[in-house]
Amino acid sequence: MPRLFVGVDIPPACRERAAVVRHCLAGRLASDIRWTRPDSWHLTLKFLGDVPPERVDAVAAALAAVAFAPFAARLGGCGTFPPLAAASGRGRKRGQPPRVLWLGLDRGGDELARLASAVDEALAPLGFAPAATPHHPHLTLGRVRRAAPDPWFEALAACDAADARIGDWPEFTVDAFTLWRSDLMPDGARHRVIERFGGGG
């Protein structure tokens, strides 16, 4: 049964820049982290999970009806899920260790969230439940499998500082989104395009 998700592709220049950030984080953290591969990087709009093959055409037809105006986007800024606990006057609070390390958007986040909502609405009649929480546009850099007592705040701040010294991220236009199949492999997920919507087809 195919495992599907909907998302937005990112250009090669952004992948190269994101790889620098991932390398920066990897050099500062001792936790056991499964780092995602650059060829799998994307901005998720909706994860559908396992979908029976006979329903894939209906999913594609629903997505083809989603209309949106192209918009400019730009990556930038690291973060975690769950968010790191804020500092207090007595020192840093102890909270859950991060499970996901990500790159955010410093432009186009609101538009991407609206596109995710439109995808939600298009797929709801097919029985796919809308997102339970507000959409948070991001690119997943790594998933923490076993957390060590790492300096998470310092690592993120150091990578943001290094990123700022490099200069602005490349800006790109989001004029299409993609329905992907995700196959789980020993070295991570492999993504295959099922259909692309917008951008001339």
pLDDT 10s digits, 8-45 = 999 999 999 999 999 999 999 999 999 999 999 999 99
User: Which residue range(s) make up the domain with 123?
Assistant: 3-81+96-198
> Could you give the CA distance from residue 125 to residue 144 in angstroms, rounded to a whole number?
35
* CATH number for the domain that contains residue 182: 3.90.1140.10
Q: Is residue 89 part of a domain?
A: no
pLDDT(174) > 60: yes
pLDDT at 156: 94
Q: Is residue 90 part of a domain?
A: no
| Residues whose CB falls within 8 Å of the CB of residue 171, separated by 6 or more in sequence, listed in order | 72, 73, 74, 107
Is there a contact between 111 and 174 (Cβ–Cβ < 8 Å)?
yes
Q: Is residue 35 part of a domain?
A: yes
Is there a contact between 195 and 62 (Cβ–Cβ < 8 Å)?
no
Q: In the chain, how many domains are there?
A: 1
Pairing mode, strands 100-107 and 176-185: unpaired
Q: Is residue 47 part of a domain?
A: yes
- Report, in this order, helix, strand and coil percent for the chain, each rounded to 5: 30, 35, 30
Q: Is residue 87 part of a domain?
A: no
Q: Is residue 86 part of a domain?
A: no
Q: Summarize the confidence of residues 116-123 as an average pLDDT.
A: 97
pTM: 0.90
Q: Is residue 172 part of a domain?
A: yes
Q: Is residue 33 part of a domain?
A: yes
